[in-house]
Amino acid sequence: MVKNVLLGFAGIILFLYGMTSLSLIMQRLFTVRIRDYIRLMVRDRLTGFLTGIVTTILFQSSSATTVLIVGLVSAGLVNFYSSLAVILGADIGTTITVQLIAWRIGDISPLFLIVGGIGWFLGEGKKKRASGAVFAFGLMFFGLYVVSLAAQPLKTDPHIMELFRSPVSPLFAFLFGVLFTALVQASAIPIGMLVLLSNDGLVSLHQALPIVIGANVGTATTAIIAAFVSTPPGRRTAAAHFFFKLMGAVVMLPMASYLAAFLDGLSTNPGQKVVLAHLFFNLAIALGFIFITSPVACMWEKLLPGKERFMPLWPEHITHGALKNPEEALEAARKEIVRQGEIAQRMFELAAKSTVTFFPSYMKDIQYLELAQNNLREEIVSYLRLASAQELSSTLAQRIFSYTATSDDIERMCNHMVSLVVLSQEKASRHIAFTSYAMAELEGLKGYVATNLSESITLIRGTGEREKLVKAISFREERIDLMVKEARNNHLVRFHKRLCQPEAGPIFLEMLIHFERISDHCQNIADYWGEFTA
């Protein structure tokens, strides 16, 4: 018995490891094409719904899809309303994994392991990554195959059989499904095990249904955990996901016996009935909410108030039609550069917060924002290149140069912000603490840099006194250079007096350099825009 229990737990671990590995591989591949993914997501409800289904099939995890959506909403690249259709689609996509279990794909899982393993050892680049995905896919189902082997002796043990046949409260079974799924962070584990146990005659459909419903509610906990350190829109997305699942459970749990009777007429295979129950539950939720996502979004915006800072990934002002008029074209480009600057300000806020207390969500958010930043810069520079082909006066030509250089400086300062978050992550992972003196020096420096960044964006907007802003930025830039020099010297004194951790020094000094470089780029922008009236 002990051997079989250990074997069963080993199978669960293999499944979870395979699923996590496959999800990570697919997410790395996904980030390359994430712009097209977001475009599909926000187009309309149907496209977003289908995108959620396909994404979850690729990730083999609705939790991974939902966490990704929460991150994108938190970063402001996807609005809250658009996210609802995607998470409804993700719930449908997760049923595919369970269907594969019912089709006994675990019986041929060693073939996936062999093919993927050989390809991984012999391949390079894309072939190696693809082989790794095949291996992880095979490992998932091999893990469940191991679980099924561990469960085989249970059929011949009269005590175990009596235990399975004992009546269990549906509410208890529901709560078990919620808690177990919340623990393993994957609804496919409990539902897949129910498929296997049903096929072996150990669990009836009536016993399985409350657990299936509970597992679907439990899978929403992953997004809720991710939302704790998210923005208000991200928390709304996670809360809406839990709301969808909970409302489905409230409606379906009292009707479990009727649903079981209905499913008995659809299939004679016990495991397939469990799969159909899982599909029917999620399909009912999707059909019940897909057409009322707007009022649901309004409800959660009132329940969880907070400003949504939605930053579309694509330009909002530049058009090819405006290229016929160079003045109009450059004005449109200026407005897009302002948007680029606003993204930089949000990235700076994240970078500044991360140096105090680091949360993993900061890394995801700043990576998503950097994606928007790079995409916008690419669009702006391409547009300015087209505008430069027109007949231009010397003044307009100078503006094109300044706009191109400004867009480039904003992009470069954002690279420093990403580096700051990376350093903060390293500091947190290695449990490195800065002294109170170092933290005070960083806080003072951040305040000056944040003001320079804000006023350089004001210059681009053209809403302030240009000459006054340029002088103020230059004054603070000189002050920042002195502050960095003083902080570096002060750190050397603290280091020799052994007042700080030795490991803290390189990270602290690098942070100083990155803040200084951000201000340098602000000074560059002030120089460009001080030469002419925007």
Report pLDDT for 315. 82
- Report the C-alpha gap between 200 and 520 in whole angstroms: 69
Q: Is 522 in contact with 453 (CB distance < 8 Å)?
A: yes
* Amino acid symbol at 469: L
CA neighbours closer than 13 Å in the CB half-sphere of residue 514: 24
Report pLDDT for 322. 81
Q: What is the pLDDT of residues 338-355, one digit of tens each?
A: 999 999 999 999 999 999
* Amino acid symbol at 173: A
Q: Percent of the chain, pLDDT > 90?
A: 42
Report pLDDT for 130. 87
Q: Is 205 in contact with 263 (CB distance < 8 Å)?
A: yes
Report pLDDT for 165. 60
Q: What is the DSSP letter of 324?
A: G
Q: How confident is the model at residue 156 (pLDDT cuts 50, 70, 90)?
A: low
How much is the pTM? 0.76
* Amino acid symbol at 315: P
- Report the C-alpha gap between 85 and 42 in whole angstroms: 9
- Report the C-alpha gap between 29 and 528 in whole angstroms: 39
* Amino acid symbol at 316: E
Of 414, 418, 395, 394, whose CA–CA distance to 406 is shortest? 414
Q: What is the DSSP letter of 78?
A: S
Q: Is 534 in contact with 403 (CB distance < 8 Å)?
A: no
- Report the C-alpha gap between 74 and 283 in whole angstroms: 27
Q: Is 245 in contact with 217 (CB distance < 8 Å)?
A: yes
Q: What is the pLDDT of residues 459-500, one digit of tens each?
A: 999 877 888 999 999 999 999 999 999 999 999 999 888 888
Whether the CA torsion 319, 40, 32, 115 is positive or negative: it is negative
Report pLDDT for 217. 93
Domain extent listing, the chain: 2-303, 320-529
Non-local CB neighbours of 257 within 8 Å, separated by 6+ positions: 206
Q: Is 208 in contact with 276 (CB distance < 8 Å)?
A: no
pLDDT exceeds 60 at position 517:
yes
Average the pLDDT over 155-171 and give the result. 66
Q: Is 218 in contact with 178 (CB distance < 8 Å)?
A: yes
Which numeric CATH code is attached to 320-529?
A: 1.20.58.220
- Report the C-alpha gap between 136 and 20 in whole angstroms: 8
Average the pLDDT over 412-432 and give the result. 95
Q: Enter the tokens of residue 428.
A: 């947190």
- Report the C-alpha gap between 431 and 425 in whole angstroms: 10
Q: What is the pLDDT of residues 387-399, one digit of tens each?
A: 888 888 888 888 8
Number of residues written out for the chain: 534
- Report the C-alpha gap between 531 and 534 in whole angstroms: 9
- Report the C-alpha gap between 218 and 183 in whole angstroms: 9
Report pLDDT for 98. 87
Report pLDDT for 209. 93
Q: How confident is the model at residue 534 (pLDDT cuts 50, 70, 90)?
A: very low
Q: How confident is the model at residue 372 (pLDDT cuts 50, 70, 90)?
A: confident
* Amino acid symbol at 170: P
- Report the C-alpha gap between 25 and 127 in whole angstroms: 12
b/e code 329-363 from CB counts within 10 Å (16+ = b): bbebbbbbbbbbbebbebbbebbbebbeebbebbb
pLDDT exceeds 50 at position 533:
no
Non-local CB neighbours of 312 within 8 Å, separated by 6+ positions: 77
pLDDT exceeds 80 at position 289:
yes
Average the pLDDT over 177-186 and give the result. 86
- Report the C-alpha gap between 79 and 81 in whole angstroms: 6
pLDDT exceeds 80 at position 43:
no
Q: What is the pLDDT of residues 438-453, one digit of tens each?
A: 999 999 999 999 999 9
Report pLDDT for 32. 55
Query: 26-30, 193-197, 263-267, 312-316: lowest mean pLDDT where?
Result: 26-30
Report pLDDT for 65. 82
Q: What is the pLDDT of residues 198-250, one digit of tens each?
A: 888 888 888 899 999 999 999 888 788 877 767 788 889 889 999 999 999 99
- Report the C-alpha gap between 318 and 397 in whole angstroms: 18
Q: Is 273 in contact with 301 (CB distance < 8 Å)?
A: no
Report pLDDT for 162. 59
Q: What is the pLDDT of residues 423-432, one digit of tens each?
A: 999 999 999 9
Average the pLDDT over 77-101 and give the result. 88
